[in-house]
Amino acid sequence: MFNSFFSRRLFLKASLACTLLLAEIDPAWAKLPATENLPDGKISLYNTHSKERLTVTYRDSEGNYDLNALHSLNWILRCHYTQEVADMDIRAIEHLSLVDKELGGGHEFHIISGYRSPAYNGLLRQEGHRVARHSLHMKGKAIDVSIPGVGLDKLRRVALNLKYGGVGFYPGAGFVHLDSGDFRTW
């Protein structure tokens, strides 16, 4: 029924993407590289504000995403100031996973900031923090991280070599910014 180019998985993803497009919903995974190129979908996070830990498998070996795991990721990456939860862009999660793979795997990311509510972003700007007015954090597309035992320079270098998304370096604040936007660096 399907030729080798049009696999069942590709057909199902394309069907879902078309459905979401017609419903005017942007499927975050629509721009993902082929899942065959991605490491296993397991990630460990520690939220430095809430002191919560999560180790979860969010994608299986077939490339299927686990909605319960994604909800758990959204929760731990919520705005710590307002407790608002947003749907994180799966590309931002995959960015972390790719960095972890390049570092040898099995690391726990310490989350400094995941989703940032507009109220919290505005407060940070008002207090003189140099945060973008239209930060990707407010769209669930950015995560600020560190990894215990891995220097920020090394974390940054690995992320830059991937050329996957945005990479910001904040050694004074103790984190590296990773996002799912176009590749750029600062």
Predicted pLDDT of residue 29: 43
pTM: 0.80
pLDDT of residue 13: 53
Of the candidates 158, 183, 156, 178, the one whose C-alpha atom is nearest the C-alpha of residue 77 is 178
Predicted local distance difference test score (pLDDT) of residue 24:
46
Handedness of CA 104, 30, 135, 51 (dihedral sign): negative
Q: What pLDDT shows up at residue 61?
A: 86
Residue 126: both structure tokens together: 């008002």
Question: In the prediction, which pLDDT does 59 show?
Answer: 96
Instruction: Give the pLDDT confidence score for residue 40 in this predicted structure.
Output: 82
CATH architecture of 39-185: 2-Layer Sandwich (3.30)
Q: What does the pLDDT profile of the chain (186 residues) look like in tens digits?
A: 444 444 555 545 555 554 444 444 444 444 445 545 676 899 999 999 999 999 999 999 889 999 999 999 999 999 999 999 999 999 999 999 999 999 999 999 999 999 999 999 999 999 988 898 899 999 999 999 999 999 999 999 999 999 999 999 999 999 999 999 999 999
Measured CA to CA, the distance from residue 10 to residue 169 in angstroms comes to: 36
Reduced 3-state DSSP string for 24-84 = CCCCHHHHCCCHHHCCCEEEEEEECCCCCEEEEEEECCCCCECHHHHHHHHHHCCCCCCCC
Phi and psi (nearest 5°) for 21? -65, -45
CB 112 within 8 A of CB 74: no
Distance CA 37, CA 164 (A): 13
Domain spans of the chain, in order of start: 1-31, 39-185
Q: Give me the pLDDT at residue 152, please.
A: 98
